[in-house]
Chain A
């Protein structure tokens, strides 16, 4: 079975669509502005009501009174939706910890109720008229505050192997450190949007920009007190998702559906950019404390770390994000003894959620930071230190899964060193740096190993429908959603290949819950693997029947299809796929959660201006493993786009919350495009070379391909490490210096880092302190002034401390709860 899945059809006469460079299936619609997104349906729908939220001006408060009546005095206001209107369950989440209409507001911008108006302007004015009384309550805004207050939620998993304490005691070198790094706003260009109406039988039809139509359907049903078969959710396409539309759309869809149910009219909920940023969850920021031990040759012998994610006000996906983070702290490195604790801080912020990489990037950031900071202290070039620690074939991850194709890491690395002419360019960089006092360059390579599959085994299933019509044309449906990643393009290619028809004979219909039920989110990079296999399964059922009809005659497709119809042979099939060989026990954090690993290596060269900390990306080279590419143009787009998005997270994108004690406490101060900066053209690498890893066929996956959505994002650590290298070059006499670089590495953060390097004392004695000085401890504890500033500040991370015990990561209490075995599952645990 698995070999069949990855093998191309026999017979050279069949057109083979997979592997062809084809543009996105909607490209012509995109460029002409005729591709429709959910909000584009509004002017095409009669009598739509518009919704506007009434939002909390407090980070945490009890709602003591809510008076909607004044809103009805505003011309055009039709209805105010409050908790009293909910016929079913007043909850927008799958954990039942997210009241849709809260009595206690848990973050600044939390919607208390929604106003429906004939126009958006009427709804907005109505929302201003609603009177709400609040009793402010104490709030926790930063993860540091939450740690100090012991404020956690959900399970506190530990991933461990070997004997960390003994290994650290015996290690030749022990270092410790801490880094508090920021999350990321998805900033899909299309904000959250849902449009709901009732059909003639009173069933609810919701068009939603959602990565998870099935769960949107379930939440709408439970809010309205309906069964799932009374609710249909359709997603035409999304203007970007990146994980931000995996869980977050449900509540907005439920508000639209509730409004439609109560008024009998179509209701549109579309967030403005400011609302979207202030109200919806983001990538988790983390605090990480670590101790790392190395042997004399620079090999990692032990890692002890505690990762605290900033979960925001409710759990959402924080537990599985944390689990994936812990499962990716190893990245591409063999760490024999290891103990990783994880916990989810509860803070009064948006409920942080999935974002491309799903904790993987945060886990990897920890080990890349450890290696980047320790290399100079070990007297090794970072490139050499990393390579020396790569997994070898036969080794297992800390959670007990063999690292299949581990040697591909070293192969890709060496390939890139050669292709990107790394050795010669390192010499050029050194020469440039010697000749330039105020401008320095840095060149760095980093690897990616990323596990593919949902950690939670049950989600690794998919369904599809394939219809062959009498004229030989083909229509396919599958459970995955299109958010720009090119899933639909790949699925068309898979269907055309499996059926042996030209690509233009296959069409794809929008994702709907009444076509393919019980789908998993389009997430975890798994869309093509799962849905592709399901489509192929459906196609093969039809093909098997057609083969019987053909009986060796070799009829052309159209004639064969017609003959089959008249022979009363069904020409459609439902396909299904469940990934084989997976098992995972989240209570002990062990198992075989991933079908395979995707690999990649990147080399980035950055140039830093010593006057300002501003930087440019001079050149980036990437070798990435997509298996046998289903669609090279699409895969290239995912690699490049993921890389730039990762670079944005690590450099420019700077989420700040008001952490002062003033009236704006808890407010996201970067809640707009003018204050939150995505990469623009100016951040594009001046030279960019991307190649796909050769001889990368992945057995057991659809046509030998590999998932590509998330892994390339983590190639961007090369940018961060190149910035670190450039900062280090500002050190006097060019001596190796351990650079503490904040994340995001904004120009300001880079300026402070290079200033630190400039002032670095080069004496070994100063570098290798055994105890953190008072000053350092003070830096670990944010000063009052820093507390008052927006969070996270651009203060550099605490400097690395050499020697044991140094900084010891927080250890969990004996009664710390494990992750629930079904912590990712939908519905009641």
Chain B
């Protein structure tokens, strides 16, 4: 509301009706960011500088000014204040919260005091209950904005005076959002994994138009193309699913630099196969063989996402389904295009050879760059 009527007229109403726009929306917010790391919950609490003085009596000289030394000296009191009003618990029992040394952080919205937090829990939390009572009793407008991460699962919420206790389900098995997140990660990984895409393209190109005897172009019948595409894509899928699952379930790991280099080599060789059919017509076997290596690459990406232990298999399958879905979308897009292009003279004469040379060059460049890291 922009204005109160007749505000200066009556002394008794002066307090409430000054005619001034109050400093609207100067928020009292705190940010609680937590991340599950096995049985620990790590993170930080950022409290607005103006609010810190309400957590503990830290203006030691009572001069109504908060100095940096007073803030540092009050560290223990403030840490105790945080511990008294912030509680984390798994379904089994409370976690033991430790508050680290404070620091100052300048955000766009002002200065904040950051407290590093570590909570030791008795088990890997499948759910985390947070009781947040900070500042609520002194400021009804205070909000605690919380984000809890468990691998790819991210839960956010807001603590208010009427919602001071929130339980976060961190178990992907109980969280559609969690499974969906892994599925999206799978799709995203294939769409942004250019080496996988390029390999897939290199596999597909000779199925539509292949060289025979190194000179003549052969256009297989469309029905045959469809069959070949299905076999090849299925073989690739089966192979990388196999190594992805085995690698993840059995915790088998090859050095990622080795895997990545082999993937790059597979790209270069498949590109070469378009111009000079080195694999003969055994495309599905080649797809399967190299697919095993690509699966190890997917497993590496999945490890980075830290699958929740409590819903490991479901999350793993979601990720794999995402990879397959992303792959199928690409095949569906490329299929009609290649069916059309393969009959065009410019494609036969220039475009496909250029494409294959490009794939070879990129594959080799990746192989060299990644090989250096081994």
The yes or no verdict on A and B being binding partners is no
Interface residues of A (CB under 8 A from B): none
Interface residues of B (CB under 8 A from A): none
